Structure 1
Amino acid sequence: MDNTILKLDGITKIYPNGTVANRNISISFNKGEIHSICGENGAGKSTLMNIIFAIEKQTEGKISYKGQEINYSSSLDAIENGIGMVHQHFMLIPSFTVAQNVVLGAEPKKANGFIDMDKANQITNELAKKYKFDEINATDLVSDLTVSAKQKVEILKTLYRKAEVIILDEPTAVLTPQETVQLFEQLKGFKELGHTIIFISHKLNEVKEISDRITVIRSGETKGTY
C-alpha cells in the first residue's frame, strides 16, 4: 500500500540572478511519519519548504499531494488544503491572546456575525489538551509567553486549520535542551495521530533522534534518504 501523502519530483529553483537554490530534488513524504530534511545552513532546505508552502515557485518539477499534482498560487491555498508551516521567526500578534492568534483569519462566528470568543477559547484549549501542550491557555496574552510556548501557539494555528502536513523550520534553534526534549515527545504524539512532520534542521544528532527517515541536502541537491 502506498502511504505517500506528499511527493516532490525533480524540483529545481533558479533565481533570476542565476543562483541555483535547489536542483532536481525528488522526495516522498509518508503519512504519519517524522521526515527530517538535514543540511548545513545555505543548503537549500528553507527554499524547498517555501516551495512546498507556495511562498516561492519552483522553476522546474512538480509537487503531488494526496496523489494529485498541485500548483498553489499562495500559501493560503496550501493552508486550506492541509499543509501548515511554522517559520523560524514567529508571526504572532503579541497584544492578542493565544486564542485570538490561533483563530485569526478563520474566526468562529455567532449567529449575529460577531466573533464567538468563547468558542475560540474552547477550541484552542481543546486542541492544546489533545496535543499535550499543557502550558498553553487560550486566554493568556502572547506577549507574556515563553519562546517555547509561542512556538506551540504557531503549531496550534496550523492544527486549527486542520493541517495534515506540518513543516517545522529549524524549530529547536530557539529552544533550551529541556524544551527540545519536550517538543520531540509531543511531535511523536502528532505522528501517532496521523500527522506528517517535515522537520528542517542542520543538527544531525537531533534529526537522528526524532526522525523516521532523513533526507540529506547539500548545495541544493539531495544526497540520499536514510
Structure 2
Amino acid sequence: MTSASLHPGRGEPLWELRRICKSFPGVRANNDISLRLHAGEIHGLLGENGCGKSTLIKILSGVNQPDSGEIRHRGRVVTLNGPTAARSEGVATVFQEFSLIPQLTVAENIFMGRHPTRAGGLLVDWKAMAAAAHHILEQLAIDIDPQVRVADLSVAEQQLVEIAKALSQEAELLILDEPTTALGQEEIAILHGLLRSIRGRGVSILYISHRLDEVVELVDTVTILKDGCVASRSGETRLAVDDIVSCMIGGGVREHYPKEHNATDQVVLEVRGIRTSERVRDASFDLRRGEVLGLGGVIGSGRTEIARAVFGADRLTGGEVLLDGRPLRLRGPADAIRAGIALVPENRKYDGLFFNFFAGPNITMANIGGVLRGPFFDHGKEDDAATGYIRDLEITPLAAHKFVNLISGGNQQKVLIARWLFREARIVILDEPTQGIDVGAKLAVYRLINALTKAGKSVLLISSDHNELIAMSDRIAIVQHGRVTSVRPAAEVTHAHLVSASGTVHSLHPTTGPAVADLRRVA
C-alpha cells in the first residue's frame, strides 16, 4: 500500500463538517455530508465530476452557505457567511478557476485586498508589497518577477501565483482544488514538498485532484463522494488507485488506459525543421495514419508551441509542414482547419469554448457550412448535429440547453472533440485532453482517441501525465528546448526519458524545511 509517511492526525479535529446539505434548483449537491479535518494532515477529497466536491469546498470557503448542518472550528460552531469570514477563521483556498486579475502584477494579485500601506493607511506601500511578494515567491522557489503582469505568464506560472497568494495568508486550513492541473512533474514535486512542510507545522490541508497516482503518494487519508453523498469515509478505503477508482465509479476498472493500436505505415503529416518566435527551434517529426504520437517533455520545453505552430496559431519563421507530401501554407488557424487539422487546446475554457453558447453552436462553430440550407443558417440542422454527438459521445443531455460553462469539465472536453468530429478533421491535436477531469471522463476521452484512430484519423497528444502519455501513445517524440531530440516507440520510453528534457527550461528549484517554514511570517 502506498501512502504518505505520516499517519492521520489524532484527537479532536481542527475542522469538522456535520451533516451538511446544500441544494440548487433541480440538484442536491451535498446530501448529509460529514467530514473531519485534523491538524497536520493532508486529506484527499475525491470523486467524479458532479459528485459535490466543488460545492463542499465553496461552503468551507464561505462562497456558499449550507441549507442545513453545521461547521465547527476547534470545536466551536462557526458561520462562514462569506469569503472574508472564512479567511478570518484561517481558511485559504486555491480554486480550480483562477481568481487572478490578468492586468495587475503578480505582487498586486498576491496581496489583493491586503495591500501594505503607509502614511497612516492612506497610501499603498508599493515597495513593501513588491518586497513581500518577492520573499513569498523565493520561499516557493518560483522564479517570477513580482512586477510582471499576470497576463504575461504561462498557465503553469499563473497556477503557482495562485498558490503563493493562498499561502501568503495565515492559514490553518489550506484548500487546494486541482492545484497541479497545469503543472509538470518538476513543479508538482516542488508543490508536494512544500505541502509536506506545511503539514509538518500543523496546518490542515484539503486536497482535491483527479490525478489519483499523485494523490496516493501525497495524502494521509481520503474521503470519497458520489452523487452528493459520502461513498467512503476517511480510513475506509485503502490508499491505492484501484481501490479508489472502484469506490468512485461503483465498480472495478480492468484497464485504466484502454489503448488500441491502429497505426499504419502511411505518413500523413511531416514537420521539417520548423521554427517560430515562440520557443520552437528546428523541430522535426512525422505522424502516421491511425497513430497517436505523443509529445513528451516538461512544461516550457516547447510541446504546446509546436502544436500551435502546426495548427497555424503561431507563424512559422522557418521550416515547413507537409500534408500527404505537399507543403502547407499556414497563414493562420483557418488554413489548418481547411486542411483537416484540429486543435483541442490546453486551456479549453479560454481558448476553446464559447461560454455563452450551448453545446450546439460550440460543436458547429468550425463548420458553419455543415448547418446551412442554401445561404441560410438552419437551426434544425444544428440541433440535429448536436443531438447526435451528445448521444454518441455520452455528453450530458443538459448540454443541449445549458451554457457550456455550466457543465462538467469532462463534458466540456467532449464538446470540443465533437466540434472537430463534425468538421471531419483528419489530424487532431490534443493538448492536455484529460486535464482537470475525473476518472470516468478520462476513460471516455481514451475511448474517443481509440475511435479516432480506428477511423483512420491521426492524433498528436500532449500530456503532463506521464503514465497517460506512455500508455496511450504509439510513439513518443521527446521535446527539449523547442527541438525534437528523439522519436521512439512508446513501449521503450520511461519516466526518466520524459523528465530528462528539463535541463534549464524552467527555473524552479525545490526548497527545504527552514526557508519554507518562514512563509507564514511574510505577510
TM, length-normalised to structure 1:
0.91
Moved over 6 A (4+): none
Of the three residues 171, 176, 184, the one matched with 1:176 is 184
The answer for the alignment partner of 1:95 in structure 2 is: 103
Alignment partners' CA distance in 2, 1:43 and 1:33:
23
Structure 2 partner of 1:126: 135
Residue 46 (1) aligns with residue 54 (2): yes
Identify the residue that residue 32 of structure 2 maps to in structure 1.
Answer: 24
Inter-partner Cα distance in structure 2 for 1:137 and 1:211: 31
Aligned equivalents of 2:233, 2:170: Cα separation in 1: 31
Mapped partners of 1:177, 1:138: distance in 2: 24
Per-residue CA deviations over 1:22-81 (Å, capped at 9, x if unaligned) read: 111111101122111011111111111111111111121101012211112111110122
Deviation at 1:3, TM superposition (A): 4.8
Task: Specify the code of the residue in structure 2 equivalent to 1:74.
Answer: G
For residues 50 and 179 of structure 2, the distance between their equivalents in structure 1, rounded to whole angstroms, comes to 16
Unaligned runs of 5+ in 1: none
Match of 1:143 in 2: 151
Aligned partner of 1:215 in structure 2 is 223
Paired residue for 2:21?
12
Tell me how far apart the structure 1 counterparts of residues 71 and 60 of structure 2 sit (CA, whole Å): 8
1:177-224, CA deviations, whole angstroms, 9 ceiling, x for partnerless residues?
A: 333233222221221233221111233222111101111111111122
Partner AA of 1:219 in structure 2: D
Q: Does 1:76 align with 2:84?
A: yes
Which structure has the greater CA radius of gyration?
2
Measure, in 2, the Cα distance between the counterparts of 1:7 and 1:224. 13
Which of the pair has the greater relative contact order for Cα pairs under 8 Å at 6+ separation?
Answer: 1
Give TM-score scaled by structure 2 length.
0.41
- Is residue 162 of structure 2 the alignment partner of residue 154 of structure 1? yes
| In 2: Cα distance, 1:125 partner to 1:53 partner | 26
SS in 2 for 1:94: coil
Task: State the identity as a percent.
Answer: 34
User: Which residue of structure 1 lines up, in the alignment, with residue 115 of structure 2?
Assistant: 107
Q: 2:175 aligns with which of 160, 167, 172?
A: 167
CA deviations on 1:111-150 (whole Å, 9 max, x unpaired) are: 25210011111222222333x3332432232222232221
Describe the SS at the equivalent of 2:29: strand
Q: Which letter does structure 2 place at the counterpart of 1:197?
A: I
Alignment partner, residue 200 of structure 1: 208
Is 1:34 the equivalent of 2:34? no
Partner of 2:234: 225
DSSP 3-state at the match of 1:225: coil
Cα RMSD (Å):
1.8
